[in-house]
Amino acid sequence: MCRFAVVKLGGSVVTFKDRFESVDLDSLRFLSVQLSSFKGSGGSLVVVHGGGSFGHVAVSRLLAEKGRLEPGDSSLIQESMFRLALIVLGVLREYNLRPVLHPPHSICYSVDPSSCMFDLIQRDLVLGLTPVTYGDAIPEGGSTRIISGDELAVELALRLNADCLIFVIRAPGVLDENGRVIKLLDSIDKLRVYEIKYMDVTGGIVNKISLALKASKKVREVRIVGLEDLENALNMRDVGTKIKSM
Ligand SMILES: Nc1ncnc2c1ncn2[C@@H]1O[C@H](COP(=O)(O)OP(=O)(O)OP(=O)(O)O)[C@@H](O)[C@H]1O
Ligand SMILES: [Mg+2]
């Protein structure tokens, strides 16, 4: 079993990406049951969630309207993500995960995740709580930029020394061009990932894989899995796609 896991709940799982600001409560509850069982067995946990039909859609709408983002646009995107974060928090609390929210715009100076301060997340972790953070908007360089949940998850796993980093996505793992789950990915070059296009302003599945590869140089267990396999992944079973950089 993992000792300390950073779990990224994809926005593609906790929301319906094709319907503006709609939460997939069934998925969220199903994931919470699995997280609760992991925590109940003594595991430590940080949860990061993505933007799905909240953040990504808010950004895309603003870009379509104005062509570029200004610092003031942070406000609207942050509010949209805060709404989603509160819903996620509420469900995690129902399942006794004792979640506590750490919004990135309050702990990160810029979208470079190395600028984020994790000391209060670390404090809450030690207290047995479940720190929760998410992809967010940050005013930077005369614009508004997006810090991705995937990047935050990698940075948290590396700096807080997680032994597991699990990305949960809508598909059962990374799929090849025949729709089959690729069991092991050890480099981006060998990648023949069939990419389904979704509304995603932070790079979608390909960027996720390259971030996961980077993390796997230090984090023992890095996996991209479907929602039904989260608990199995936390128990270090061979499910979904294992990411291991050679
Ligand atoms: N080859 C592929 N294998 C697996 N999933 C793929 C593939 N190509 C596209 N996808 C889609 O990419 C999604 C994962 O990346 P994406 O960035 O869209 O979602 P996410 O990271 O869960 O959401 P968010 O960025 O909002 O957190 C999967 O849920 C799937 O729908
Ligand atoms: Mg994404």
pTM: 0.96
CB atoms under 10 Å from CB of 177, counted, come to: 9
171 alpha carbon – ligand 1 mean position (Å): 7
Which residue is it, tokens 């810090």?
147
Residue 193 Cβ inside 6 Å of ligand 1? The answer reads: yes
- Residue 205 Cα: closest atom of ligand 1: 15
Give burial (CB, 10 Å; 0-12/13-18/19+) of 184.
exposed
Does residue 172 have its Cβ closer than 6 Å to ligand 1? no
8 lines ligand 1 (CB under 6 A): no
Whether the CB of 48 sits within 6 Å of ligand 1: no
Q: Which sequence spans correspond to the domains of the chain?
A: 4-243
Fold classification of 4-243 (topology level): Carbamate kinase (3.40.1160)
Structure tokens at 45: 């946990």
Report which ligand 1 atom has the smallest distance to the Cα of 204.
17
Rounded CA-CA distance 68/54 in Å is 18
For the chain, 246 residues long, give each residue's pLDDT as a single digit of tens.
999 999 999 999 999 988 999 999 999 999 999 999 999 999 999 999 999 999 988 899 999 999 999 999 999 999 999 999 999 999 999 999 999 999 999 999 999 999 999 999 999 999 999 999 999 999 999 999 999 999 999 999 999 999 999 999 999 999 988 889 999 999 876 556 666 555 566 778 989 999 999 999 999 999 999 999 999 999 999 999 999 998
The minimum-distance atom of ligand 1 relative to the CA of 194 is 1
Whether ligand 1 lies within 6 angstroms of the CB of 242 is answered as no
In the reported structure, the alpha carbon of residue 4 is separated from the centroid of ligand 1 by a whole-number distance in angstroms of 24
| Closest of 132, 118, 148 to residue 32, by C-alpha | 132
Q: Is 139 in the pocket of ligand 1 (CB under 6 A)?
A: no
What is the spatial distance between Cα 237 and Cα 225, in angstroms, rounded to a whole number? 11
| Per-residue model confidence (pLDDT) at position 197 | 58
* 62 membership: H or E segment, kind and range: helix 52-66
Give ion ligand 2 contacts, CB < 5 A: 200
Nearest CA, atom 16, ligand 1: 204
Nearest Cα to Cα of residue 86 among 49, 34, 40, 129: 49
Helix (H, G, I), strand (E, B) or coil at 200: coil
Tokens of 16: 């319906």
Pick the closest to residue 214 from 168, 183, 245, 240 (CA basis).
245
Give the pair of three-digit tokens for residue 159. Answer: 């700096």
Q: Is the CB of 175 under 6 A from ligand 1?
A: yes
* Interatomic CA distance for residues 84 and 89, integer angstroms: 9
Closest CA relative to residue 157, chosen from 211, 210, 201, 202: 211
* Cα distance between residue 169 and residue 161, in whole Å: 23
